[in-house]
Amino acid sequence: MTIQDKPALILIDVQKGLDNHSYYGGNRNNPNAEENMKKLLKFWRQHGLPIFHIKHNSTNPESPLYKIKAGNEIKEIVSPLESEPVIEKNVNSAFIGTDLRRRLENDAIKHVVMMGLTTDHCVSTSVRMAGNFGFNTFLVSDATATFDKVGVDGKKYSAEVMHETALASLNNEFATVLKTVEVMKMLDVNQKFGY
């Protein structure tokens, strides 16, 4: 992947309501995820690369992400510019019930870099579909995060375990998992040396 490939940055569900940690299971991992998202967003904007913001509109009135609630808003740290599309969804995948795939294909985008919340839910589902649709997909491990989960037998799994196992399931199968610094280095080096 190079700058010349014009990879799209896709930010998934970086919304205020997800700051309600207890609602989603508590003990969120990767507290620096939004800072890393901000770095990548700045990098993409500086290089004039395509950016897509995905926003989840929960159909559950109790959810912090219910459309009319303040929690539905995208966090200021990655707030979209007027020129950047915001694609709304109400299921786990950024591709179901949206025009994301058509937009990417119409712009001849073959490479996507994905990040957001949460690793094992909407991020994982969207990454799997991107890979299955044939996009060269990259997932930024330190620009994603999740929460503790309780299994079917009542056993509690830490957010870090959920995060790491989700990444392990996706890596080299649906996507290439990289860290923020690795993504920027890859694109910077490729631009500098014209690869």
Cα(158)–Cα(177) distance, rounded to whole angstroms?
Answer: 20
Mean pLDDT (whole number) for 13-18: 98
What pLDDT is attached to residue 70? 97
Q: Is the dihedral of CA 174, 176, 49, 89 positive or negative?
A: positive
Residue 194 lies in a domain: no
Mean pLDDT (whole number) for 55-64: 97
Give 189's pLDDT tier (boundaries 50, 70, 90): low
CA distances from 120 to 92, 129, 147, 161, 189 (A): 10, 14, 9, 10, 31
Query: Residues 117-145: pLDDT tens digits?
Result: 999 999 999 999 999 999 999 999 999 99
Looking up residue 148, the CATH number of its domain turns out to be 3.40.50.850
What pLDDT is attached to residue 194? 42
Residue 53, by phi and psi: left (phi above 0), alpha (psi -120 to 50) or beta?
beta
Residue 175 lies in a domain: yes
Query: Residues 23-43: pLDDT tens digits?
Result: 999 999 999 999 999 999 999
Residue 77 lies in a domain: yes
CB 11, CB 34: distance < 8 Å: no
For residue 10, what are the domain limits? 3-189
- Indicate the number of domains in the chain: 1
Query: Residues 80-96: pLDDT tens digits?
Result: 999 999 999 999 999 99
- Average pLDDT in the chain: 95
Residue 195 lies in a domain: no
What DSSP assignment string belongs to 30-51? -TTHHHHHHHHHHHHHHTT--E
